[in-house]
């Protein structure tokens, strides 16, 4: 009896943590996909400088771990006079890290569109921008969706690391509570599991729904 009451008292803290996690997640999702498109298209640019910058960015952020990137952005940048809140630092690090991965999905999908589609668009005298926007990207987008779904789920897992730069996210709250209520370890970690699942669920359903929507009319 006592343990259930104590357990119920813990729930608000866990929910507070979930709120922070969701906040980090949503912002990171938005910026991840913006960065993915910029870097993915950048790597396909006809200008060498843009290709070079995109490649360097992608390789650096894919080649180092998210944890190291978080530490750099939160603890090292201030030494050079760039002070960021934990939330901002977390979102920036997550977006840059997953954006680098997602840019490869964007690039791969664009490259998978047959040459004939570009040529037909040229024959209709579309500008390079129109070719990309009206012909290539709508087709490539469909191919990106499964990859984007996976990246989104990865992002949720990645958010747990922001606790290490002092953000009181879900994982952070759970770890703190466990220190003070050792007897409830199982309950706390079970709640953690369930809460993460419910954060992921809408994302999973959303990606499914999108995939079905873009199937329409295509064999």
- The residues of the shown chain that bind another protein, judged by CB under 8 A, are 114, 116-117, 119-120, 122-128, 130, 134-135, 138-139, 142, 217-219
Which DSSP letter does residue 36 get? H
Sign of the C-alpha dihedral computed for residues 140, 142, 146 and 152 taken in this order = positive
Cα–Cα distance between 109 and 204 in angstroms, integer?
Answer: 20
- Provide the minimum distance between the beta carbon of 142 and another protein in the complex, in angstroms, as a whole number: 8
- Provide the minimum distance between the beta carbon of 121 and another protein in the complex, in angstroms, as a whole number: 8
- Measured from the CB atom, the residue of 83 and 119 that comes closer to another protein is 119
Torsion of CA 61, 54, 131, 121, to 10 degrees: -110
- Provide the minimum distance between the beta carbon of 139 and another protein in the complex, in angstroms, as a whole number: 5
Which contacts of 73-78 are long-range, i.e. CB under 8 A and separated by 24 or more positions?
A: 74/165, 74/166, 75/165
- Measured from the CB atom, the residue of 41 and 67 that comes closer to another protein is 41
Cα–Cα distance between 58 and 102 in angstroms, integer?
Answer: 10
- Measured from the CB atom, the residue of 88 and 130 that comes closer to another protein is 130
How far, in Å, are 69, 108, 140, 176, 197 from residue 171 at the CA level?
19, 34, 36, 9, 13
- Measured from the CB atom, the residue of 63 and 116 that comes closer to another protein is 116
Structural contact between residues 10 and 195, judged by C-beta atoms closer than 8 angstroms: no
- Provide the minimum distance between the beta carbon of 115 and another protein in the complex, in angstroms, as a whole number: 9
Q: Cβ–Cβ contacts within 10 Å for residue 9, how many?
A: 11
In three-state secondary structure terms, 219 is: coil
- Measured from the CB atom, the residue of 3 and 134 that comes closer to another protein is 134
- Provide the minimum distance between the beta carbon of 127 and another protein in the complex, in angstroms, as a whole number: 6
- Provide the minimum distance between the beta carbon of 148 and another protein in the complex, in angstroms, as a whole number: 18
- Measured from the CB atom, the residue of 84 and 145 that comes closer to another protein is 145
In sequence order, the 6+-apart residues with CB closer than 8 A to the CB of 70 are 89, 90, 93, 161, 162, 164, 165
């Amino acid at each position: 009896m006592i343990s259930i009451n104590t357990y119920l008292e813990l729930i608000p803290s866990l929910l507070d943590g979930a709120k922070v996690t969701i906040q980090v997640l949503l912002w990171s999702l938005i910026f991840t996909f913006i960065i993915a498109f910029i870097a993915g298209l950048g790597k396909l640019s006809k200008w060498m400088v843009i290709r070079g910058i995109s490649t360097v960015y992608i390789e650096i952020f894919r080649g180092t771990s998210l944890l190291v990137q978080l530490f750099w952005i939160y603890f090292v940048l201030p030494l050079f006079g760039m002070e960021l809140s934990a939330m901002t630092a977390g979102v920036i690090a997550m977006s840059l890290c997953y954006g680098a991965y997602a840019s490869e999905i964007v690039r791969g999908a664009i490259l998978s569109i047959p040459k004939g589609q570009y040529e037909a668009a040229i024959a209709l005298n579309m500008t390079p921008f129109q070719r990309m926007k009206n012909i290539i990207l709508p087709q490539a987008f469909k191919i990106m969706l499964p990859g984007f779904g996976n990246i989104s789920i990865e992002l949720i897992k990645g958010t747990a690391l922001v606790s290490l730069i002092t953000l009181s996210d879900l994982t952070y709250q759970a770890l703190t509570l466990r220190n003070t209520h050792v007897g409830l370890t199982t309950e706390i970690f079970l709640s953690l599991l369930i809460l993460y699942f419910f954060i992921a669920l809408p994302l999973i359903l959303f990606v499914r729904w999108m995939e079905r929507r873009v199937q329409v009319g295509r064999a």
